[in-house]
Structure 1
């Protein structure tokens, strides 16, 4: 599947360079479909193995103070 994804990615890039908008839209939809299938497969394997995804987080440095933000965190002191 990775090889097909690379080929479609190359085709999409070429469509952009050559101005083939309609074909590019078709290729982009196909790539998104392939990615969704891959993500769904990975999620199923994670569930079957009893694993849990780590919560997404970001760090930002503000004048030497590093703040960590966690996905869907409603309790952060600087939420506002």
Structure 2
């Protein structure tokens, strides 16, 4: 009897964790989709307005410039 009870408890725990994992996966997929849409909107906005941007990695001391700054021939690009 105790063995049957332990087996039922284990099955219930597995079922609960499976549901939680499924919910976490769905939430992650929603977040990733929203991030992709946001990144695409930012890219389209920057392309349309010809706004330049850059990102400085302080740890590696590197700078990444977007294509709009390159097209504008920004004076800081000569040092990179």
- With normalisation by structure 1, the TM-score equals 0.49
Normalized per residue, which structure has more helix? 2
- With normalisation by structure 2, the TM-score equals 0.49
Larger radius of gyration: 2
